Amino acid sequence: MISVSDRIVVFTGAGVSTESGIPDFRSPGGIWTKFDPDDFTIQKFLRSIETRKKQWKILVEGGLFSSVRPNQAHYAIAELEKTGKLDCVITQNIDDLHQKAGNSPDKVFELHGNMKLVRCLSCDEQYNMEYIKEKLKKGIEIPDCEKCHGILKPDIVFFGEALPSRAKDAAIKHSRNCDLLIAIGSSLAVYPAAFMPVYAKEAGAKLVIINIGETPCDELADIVINSKAGETMARIVKLFGDPKGNRTPVTGVRGRCPDR
Ligand code: APR
């Protein structure tokens, strides 16, 4: 499928970063088994100082992805860009790992924002998360804007917030225009992000899902590979890049195999 495609969209979720040590949300032991998603609504964040204190504490305890590095899945997706066949990466992740692995930032659309930045909700002043982390480490429980003392919020999408329109519009456009969408490490449970594989299929693209767990789009997919993202993507990109075209089978494949 990769060899006959030239506008490939890779769509990723938290499952592509678990092998970097960042827990996903809905697997056993995932973030929503430890924290209440209801605490992460924009309404609660704005409404109470207590909630803001709690959310900054959770974000700090979560390590704010301090020392995480890309894993072989991220590097394989960056390799795919070098072939000239990758149209873009659409990610729900906020960890910046696709860019760290080498994907061009202008080819990565972040539907749920990025933890690198913190923004003032009053004057839009921006701060690096590293700078804010230093303040939190010195015991400040709720950082506020140094310019206007407004509320500071990580530049990520909370529940109840609209997705950044530029990223969302681009994701829809590229999903509707690709010839292959590979969805990796997502339960495809959260909308409108989870519409992207549907838009791709509606536009006549092939759909491949690489995910340990089942997803609501499995029946729609041309191929489902229930295996770990890192080893699977590394083998696929190696296979594709193998001039002799050796075909060592990728484990866990089910669904209709395309005519070669
Ligand atoms: N390899 C392949 N799949 C994996 C791996 C792995 N190493 N680790 C986990 N998975 C799978 C899990 O089986 C699960 O189906 O990745 C999926 C991750 O699903 P979620 O935890 O629901 O994460 P995601 O789909 O990204 O969630 C979407 O929900 O809470 C919001 O904003 C949050 O962006 C997030 C959105």
Atom of ligand 1 nearest to the CA of 25: 21
Q: How far is the CA of 15 from the centre of ligand 1 (A)?
A: 4
- Tens digits of residue pLDDT in 155-205: 999 999 999 999 999 999 999 999 999 999 999 999 999 999 999 999 999
- Sign of the dihedral through C-alpha 229, 88, 128, 164: negative
State which ligand 1 atom lies nearest to the alpha carbon of 30.
21
CA of 191 to the centre of ligand 1 (A): 13
CA of 147 to the centre of ligand 1 (A): 37
Dihedral pair phi/psi, residue 253, rounded to 5°: -80, 135
Q: Measured from the CB, is residue 74 less than 6 Å from ligand 1?
A: no
Q: Check pLDDT > 70 for residue 64.
A: no
Report the predicted TM-score, pTM, of the whole model to 2 decimal places.
0.91
C-beta separation of 91 from 108 below 8 A: yes
Report, as residue numbers or ranges, the catalytic residues: 112
Q: For 104-118, how does the pLDDT look when each residue is reduced to its tens digit (9 = 90+)?
A: 999 999 999 998 999
pLDDT tens track for 3-40: 999 999 999 999 999 999 999 999 998 988 888 888 88
User: Tokens 């080893």 — which residue?
Assistant: 231
pLDDT tens for residues 193-250?
Answer: 999 999 999 999 999 999 999 999 999 999 999 999 999 999 999 988 755 544 555 5
Q: Is the separation of the CB atoms in 199 and 148 below 8 Å?
A: no
For residue 170 and ligand 1, the question of a CB distance below 6 A is answered with: no
Q: What does the alpha-carbon distance between residue 176 and residue 196 come to, in Å, rounded to a whole number?
A: 8
Domains contained in the chain, CATH given = 8-22+70-112+164-255 (3.40.50.1220), 31-64+115-156 (3.30.1600.10)
Mutate to test the pocket of ligand 1, among 26, 72, 95, 250 (most ligand atoms within 8 A of CB): 26
Which atom, in ligand 1's list, is nearest to the CA of 40? 30
